[in-house]
Structure 1
Amino acid sequence: MRPVSSYPDIPSARRILLRRARVPLCLTTPEAFTRMPDGRDEDGTTLLDIRVEDGTLTAIGPSGQTHASVDEGGIAQVDLAGRQVWPMFLDCHAHLDKTQIIPRAGNADGSFAGAREGSMADRQRHWTQADIERRMEFALRCAVHHGSSAIRTHLDSHEGQAEATWEVFQTVRGKWRERITLQAVALAVAEVYDTPFGDRLLDLVAAAGGIVGTFLRLPDHDTEMPAGIDPFLDRLFDKAARRGLDVDLHVDETANPASRMLEHVARAVLRTGFPGRVVCGHCCSLAMQAPSQVQRTLELCATAGVGIVTLPTANLYLQDRRPGITPRWRGVTLVREMQAAGLTVAVGGDNVRDPFFPYGDNDMLDTLRQAVRILHLDHPIADMPSLAGRNAAQLMGLEQGVLRPGAAARLVIFNARSLNEMLSRPQSDRIVLDRGHLVTEPLPAYEELDDILQAPSPGNMS
Structure 2
Amino acid sequence: MLPSTSNYLLKNGRVPQSLLEMEFLASSADSTVATTTENDFCAVDLEIAGGAIAQIIPTNTEPLSQLPDIPVVDLQSGLVFPCFVDMHAHLDKGQIWERSPNPDGTFAGAIEAARADAQKHWNAEDVYRRMQFGLKCSYAHGTKAIRTHIDSAGEQGTLSLAVFEALQAEWGDRLILQAVSLVSLDYFLTPAGEKLADKIAQIGGILGGVAYMNPDLDKQLDRVFSLAEERGLNLDFHTDETDDPESTTLQEVAKTAIRHKFSGQIICGHCCSLAVQPPDLVTETLTLVKQANIGIVSLPMCNLYLQDRESGRTPRWRGVTLLHELKAAGIPVTVASDNCRDPFYGFGDHDVLEVFNMSVRIAHLDRHWEDWPRTVTTTPADLMGLPNVGRIGVGLPADLILFKARTFSELLSRSQRDRTVLRQGKEIDTTLPDYRELDDLLPEDGRG
**Are 1:401 and 2:390 matched, yes or no?**
yes
Q: Do 2:397 and 2:425's aligned partners in 1 also have CA atoms closer than 8 Å? A: no
**Are 1:186 and 2:181 matched, yes or no?**
yes
Using the TM superposition, name which of 52-61 and 355-364 deviates more: 52-61
Report the counterpart of residue 229 of structure 2 in structure 1. Answer: 241
Query: Following the alignment from structure 2 to structure 1, what is the Cα–Cα distance between the partners of residues 74 and 14?
Result: 11
Please point out which of 27, 38, 51 is paired with 2:19: 27
**Are 1:438 and 2:427 matched, yes or no?**
yes
Please point out which of 353, 367, 377 is paired with 2:341: 353
Report the counterpart of residue 198 of structure 1 in structure 2. Answer: 193
Query: Following the alignment from structure 2 to structure 1, what is the Cα–Cα distance between the partners of residues 174 and 442?
Result: 26
Q: Do 1:347 and 1:388's aligned partners in 2 also have CA atoms closer than 8 Å? A: yes
Q: Do 1:148 and 1:364's aligned partners in 2 also have CA atoms closer than 8 Å? A: yes
Q: In the alignment, residue 348 of structure 2 is paired with which amino acid?
A: G
Name the % identity.
44
Question: 1:295-320 deviations in whole A, cap 9, x for unaligned?
Answer: 11011111111000000000000000
How far is 1:217 from its partner?
2.6
**Structure 1 gap segments, 5+ residues each:** 1-8, 219-225
Question: 1:212-245 deviations in whole A, cap 9, x for unaligned?
Answer: 1111133xxxxxxx44322321221111011010
Report the counterpart of residue 61 of structure 1 in structure 2. Answer: 57
Q: In the alignment, residue 298 of structure 2 is paired with which amino acid?
A: T
Query: Following the alignment from structure 2 to structure 1, what is the Cα–Cα distance between the partners of residues 370 and 76?
Result: 20
Query: Following the alignment from structure 1 to structure 2, what is the Cα–Cα distance between the partners of residues 45 and 289?
Result: 36
Report the counterpart of residue 131 of structure 1 in structure 2. Answer: 126
- SS of the equivalent of 2:162 reads helix
Query: Following the alignment from structure 1 to structure 2, what is the Cα–Cα distance between the partners of residues 163 and 12?
Result: 44
Q: State how 1:164-243 maps to structure 2 within 5 Å.
A: 164-218=159-213, 226-243=214-231
Q: Do 1:13 and 1:436's aligned partners in 2 also have CA atoms closer than 8 Å? A: no
- SS of the equivalent of 2:154 reads coil
Query: Following the alignment from structure 2 to structure 1, what is the Cα–Cα distance between the partners of residues 144 and 343?
Result: 26
Normalising to structure 2: TM-score of the pair? 0.96
How far is 1:455 from its partner?
5.8
Q: In the alignment, residue 305 of structure 2 is paired with which amino acid?
A: Y
**Are 1:311 and 2:307 matched, yes or no?**
no
Q: Do 1:96 and 1:135's aligned partners in 2 also have CA atoms closer than 8 Å? A: yes
**Are 1:425 and 2:418 matched, yes or no?**
no
Report the counterpart of residue 375 of structure 1 in structure 2. Answer: 363
Q: Do 1:371 and 1:377's aligned partners in 2 also have CA atoms closer than 8 Å? A: yes
**Structure 2 gap segments, 5+ residues each:** none
Report the counterpart of residue 313 of structure 2 in structure 1. Answer: 325
**Are 1:47 and 2:40 matched, yes or no?**
no
Q: State how 1:268-283 maps to structure 2 within 5 Å.
A: 268-283=256-271
Query: Following the alignment from structure 2 to structure 1, what is the Cα–Cα distance between the partners of residues 75 and 144?
Result: 22
- SS of the equivalent of 1:378 reads coil
Query: Following the alignment from structure 1 to structure 2, what is the Cα–Cα distance between the partners of residues 241 and 262?
Result: 19
Q: In the alignment, residue 49 of structure 1 is paired with which amino acid?
A: D
Q: Do 1:104 and 1:455's aligned partners in 2 also have CA atoms closer than 8 Å? A: no
- SS of the equivalent of 2:227 reads helix
Q: In the alignment, residue 248 of structure 2 is paired with which amino acid?
A: R
With over 3 angstroms needed to count, the CA separation of the structure-2 counterparts of 1:341 and 1:111, relative to structure 1, is: same
Question: 1:128-169 deviations in whole A, cap 9, x for unaligned?
Answer: 111111111111111111000010000000111111111110
Q: Do 2:185 and 2:221's aligned partners in 1 also have CA atoms closer than 8 Å? A: no
- SS of the equivalent of 1:236 reads helix
Question: 1:360-400 deviations in whole A, cap 9, x for unaligned?
Answer: 00000001000000011111023221110011111211121
How far is 1:453 from its partner?
2.3
Q: Do 1:105 and 1:355's aligned partners in 2 also have CA atoms closer than 8 Å? A: yes
Question: 1:55-104 deviations in whole A, cap 9, x for unaligned?
Answer: 1112113113362556522x221111210000000000000000101111
How far is 1:20 from its partner?
1.3
